[in-house]
Amino acid sequence: MTIVFIISAPSGSGKSTLVNEVRQIVSGLDFSVSYTTRPPRGSEQNGREYFFVSRSQFESMIQKDEFLEHAEVFGNYYGTARCFLQSAEEHGHDLLLDIDVQGAAQIKQKLPQAVSIFILPPDRQKLEWRLRSRGLDAEVVIQRRLVTASREIENYSKYEYILVNDRLEESVESLKAVLLAERAKHSGKPPGETEMKTIKKAECCRLSSIEERVKPILDSFRSAGTQKAH
């Protein structure tokens, strides 16, 4: 059975970096390339990061019920085409969706078995730094993404796994552990020693294990909001 993994994160947390790394080391994992009406950024290519379409093309796809979910993010449409799930099922692969919190909620409603993962930045300052260092967005866009991030991170506790992307190699290992632990659980076979270790590692990304780590991250966003309000 295909496992659908949902990954959400505030823009700039390092989600694309993490997903790209993990796709190279975990086999049998398809990636759903979303459709969007936003223009390509940097070196993005049509069909690789996204399918870039016009608003009217996107709306026509909505009419034809071609999306598993879709949402409006930063003033643009983004959507997951149904065909990616069909293809993953046909090939016996799992499917990774990089979608926002609205899309994640829609998928969870349609596919309650989907496994959700939320990526958090180490704190607001590091998120701002990463957005700047990426060098892709204008200052006004960065500021808008930071405001949206403060809102989005409040949804972290709705996700089954939470990962703080501080040191990249560690985050890649944690994400890999979550994917493999879920595969082990879904396999129906009793876990061996290696699987048990992986499951234990993945459990470190549960809310109950990570709550203390998350508090200062949330505070860094909340206090920035308070300062702005004064």
Q: Interface residues with ligand 5GP (CB under 6 A)?
A: 8, 11, 34, 38, 69, 71, 73, 78-80, 98-100, 102-103
Query: Interface with ligand ADP includes 16 (CB under 6 A)?
Result: yes
User: Could you tell me if 165 and 121 are in contact, meaning their C-beta atoms sit under 8 angstroms apart?
Assistant: yes
Q: Strand, coil or helix: what is 11?
A: coil
Query: Interface with ligand ADP includes 12 (CB under 6 A)?
Result: yes
Say how many residues touch ligand ADP, by CB under 6 A: 14
Segment lying near ligand ADP (by CB under 6 A), choices 12-20, 63-71, 151-159, 194-202: 12-20
List C-alpha distances in Å: 162 to 53, 206, 213. Answer: 32, 6, 10
Q: What is the DSSP letter of 97?
A: E
CB of 215 to ligand ADP, least distance (A): 20
User: Could you tell me if 33 and 84 are in contact, meaning their C-beta atoms sit under 8 angstroms apart?
Assistant: yes
Query: Interface with ligand ADP includes 168 (CB under 6 A)?
Result: yes
**In terms of CB distance, is 15 or 176 closer to ligand ADP?**
15
Helix axes 15-25, 168-186, angle to 10 degrees: 60
Read off the tokens for 122: 């180490």
User: Could you tell me if 82 and 68 are in contact, meaning their C-beta atoms sit under 8 angstroms apart?
Assistant: yes
**In terms of CB distance, is 171 or 198 closer to ligand ADP?**
171
Kindly state the helix (H) or strand (E) to which residue 98 belongs, with its residue range.
Answer: strand 94-98
Which among ligand ADP, ligand 5GP, none contacts residue 165 (Cβ within 5 to 8 A by kind)?
ligand ADP
Segment lying near ligand ADP (by CB under 6 A), choices 35-43, 65-73, 107-115, 164-172: 164-172
**In terms of CB distance, is 14 or 79 closer to ligand 5GP?**
79
First-to-last C-alpha distance (Å) of the chain: 52
CB of 19 to ligand 5GP, least distance (A): 10
Please identify the residue of the shown chain whose CB is closest to the bound ligand 5GP: 103
Pick out residues in 123-142 that bind ligand ADP (CB under 6 A).
Answer: 130, 133-134
* Overall size of the chain counted in residues: 230
**In terms of CB distance, is 61 or 153 closer to ligand ADP?**
153
d(CA 83, CA 153): 30
d(CA 50, CA 66): 16
CB of 129 to ligand ADP, least distance (A): 8
| Contact footprint for ligand ADP (CB under 6 A) | 9, 11-17, 130, 133-134, 165, 168, 171
